[in-house]
Amino acid sequence: MDAQTGSKAWTYCLATLLAATMLLLAPAAHSAPVVTNPSFETDSFTGWPGYISVNTPITGWTSTDDTRIGLNPAGGSPFADNGTVPNGTNVAFIQWNATLNSTLSQAVPGFEVGKTYQVDVRLNARNGNVPRLVMDLGADTLLNSAIIAVGGANPYRYATFYHTAANTTETLSFTNTAGADNTVLIDDITIAESTTDWHATSWSGDGDSAVGSAHNYTHAINFSGPSVGINGVTFQGTSGGNPSGADFATSGLGGTYTTQSGNTLAGDSHTLATTFNYGSQTETVTLSGLTAGQSYVTTIYGAGFDAPNNRWATLSIGSDRLTADLDTYGQNNGIRLIHRSVADGSGQIVLNLAALQTGTWHLHGISNREESLEYLGDDFAGANGTVIDNWYPHQANQPASPGYTETGMNPSFHVDIQNGTARLGANAGAAISISDRLDYLKPGRLNIMADLQIGTLTSGADSTTNARGVGLGFYLDGSYVPSVEVRTGFTGLVLDPFGNLNLFENGVYAGQSIAYTGTFDPNAFLHLSYWVDITAGTVSGVILEGSTSAYHFTTSAFTDVATAMAGFTGSSSAGGTYGYLDNFRLTSTPEPGTMTLLALGGMGFLARRRRRRGKATGHRTAALVALLALGLLLAAPAAQAGVFAQYPLTGDADSGVSAYHTYTHALN
């Protein structure tokens, strides 16, 4: 091929690859819960003051008291008498009934069991009223809070919750339990699959604070208290109302409190939980001096001041919201609220806290640090020998880990380091605990990857049942002990000596095996990468270098419990045989450029971040590259779509494929 022809061909190749990529960027059709009449715009009430009893039922909704529930406007707006209506012109109102708490409800279809959904609603109250709203979805009580009026033409309050579906149809209900003649206003309800970066959890002391000096902190602030060190990180002390510094500012936090010494927090966290700033229904903290576009982990520290359900607020960073109760875990008990944040174009992260009731949010502390994407890695670069103790946690995300635990049926079956790789004996492996040490929380989705070589491992008639080959995956905590079969407690994928990829669930072959498409070389290092969702227990995004097979496994076995340890295995039908593994990684998001690498990976062009292995050999014509790239991308839509969104699809349940849609194309 001459230079001019080659240039044109490669141009065609890149254009074709780009076109295939753009196809995948198009949004997929997903089924979603359908709320009927979510903004109450279907009906037009004219009978004053808007009760159902003098108008008609509210389309799609069920009322327990037609003389206390209705819509405004209706010849006026005696109940919706303040604030700007969020969506359209109508809002629903629920007035308290002295003999029966008034409830407005709807059975909402379209949920997928086990999937988490974001539920948004806008709230307000009649002027001068303080109703108490209880909001339920299925068996979950999402909210139990007093609601105060926004007043004037102010926007309705935002409330955002996260719900994991237990049924395909769940009942959404709003109940006014005010205990007096008070009216709550509701509008603009939405339910969609969750993509939030918020997470709330209990906080009992230094041990579960997730604070550690190995991280690069940009901010760590103790409000209204002295500077205090927690796990080697100094929280800068402040004093006075609305404190500020060179790289932070606050507003709405004019009040100070320094005597919550009865808090239950252990260690130096007790000092952080003793003091706080507070002040108004709208409080703001601005962190500055950050790198625009960079990812950070922002954590808010609090301690319950009252019994639960007295200090609800909506926390927001950008348009990402979480409505939470400061008192969730009880009086004097700690709470942490964590957000994966991205600094805006000005290098700032702005936190807003908007209380729903008169009780304001108490801000004890805040920290912000650079996000660590890689949780664990090992290049096995140590000296040859039987000890593999040179694993490294990226930025020490596992500072307390004791390292690997090895297993094997006898001392001759072990994992050792040979020439910069992990050598796996005929029935041996190694695993490392990840349950309690993955950064500030164990991510809901994990990406595990390594380079695998079958080497001299052999397969007999028991290939699948005994996990012959090299395995990459996870273990139950405590199941990985000496003198047991290497597959005991193992949940993951095993590459066997024939190139088949086999699924194991808790040490048992799951009956799912996918053959290698292409020429399988047992002496080549092949990159294996896949995602697991520990909430749904699913596996997705499976990529095996060199193979163009569409890897799809149906499972719910990769649970939080089943993924307590991450590791790898070697198994053979004959002693004295060895497989090899290198470049072991555990991450929660893809490395930059993963999309391009994945597109080329199925053709042996995967340019991984390795210390060695050399360049891919051989030549491919541009036309073949383009064709294979397009074929690979279209053959594995679940894996690629998930990588683009950084949330991989997990299987049939969230594939968006349904007989209810009319399909023009469906390609494997």
In this structure, the strands spanning 116-125 and 183-193 are: antiparallel
Give the largest Cα separation in the chain, rounded: 89
pLDDT of residue 484: 66
State CA 387 to chain mean position distance. Answer: 35
Task: Supply the DSSP symbol for 29.
Answer: P
Cα separation, 181 vs 68, in Å, equals: 10
Mapped onto helix, strand or coil, the DSSP state of residue 428 is strand
Cα separation, 486 vs 471, in Å, equals: 10
Query: Over the stretch 29-71, which tens digit does the pLDDT of each residue have?
Result: 456 899 999 999 999 999 999 999 999 999 999 999 999 999 9
Say yes or no to pLDDT of 549 above 80: yes
Cα separation, 430 vs 566, in Å, equals: 8
Say yes or no to pLDDT of 469 above 90: yes
State CA 175 to chain mean position distance. Answer: 30
Query: Over the stretch 598-608, which tens digit does the pLDDT of each residue have?
Result: 333 333 333 33
Q: Say if CB 423 and CB 525 are below 8 A apart.
A: no
Q: How many CB atoms lie within 10 A of CB 481?
A: 12
Q: What residues pair up with 248 in beta bridges, in sequence order? A: 245, 287
DSSP string for 159-172: EEEEEE-SSSSEEE
pLDDT of residue 418: 72
Instruction: Kindly report whether the global pTM for this prediction surpasses the value 0.75.
Output: no
233 dihedral zone (left: phi>0; alpha: psi -120 to 50; beta)? beta
List, in order of start, the domains of the chain with CATH numbers.
52-193 (2.60.120.260), 198-370 (2.60.120.430), 374-654 (2.60.120.560)
- Compute and round to an integer the Cα radius of gyration of the chain: 28
Sign, Cα dihedral of 604, 605, 606, 607: positive
Query: Over the stretch 354-403, which tens digit does the pLDDT of each residue have?
Result: 999 999 999 999 999 987 655 666 777 666 765 444 333 332 233 333 44
Cα separation, 558 vs 476, in Å, equals: 10
Say yes or no to pLDDT of 309 above 80: yes
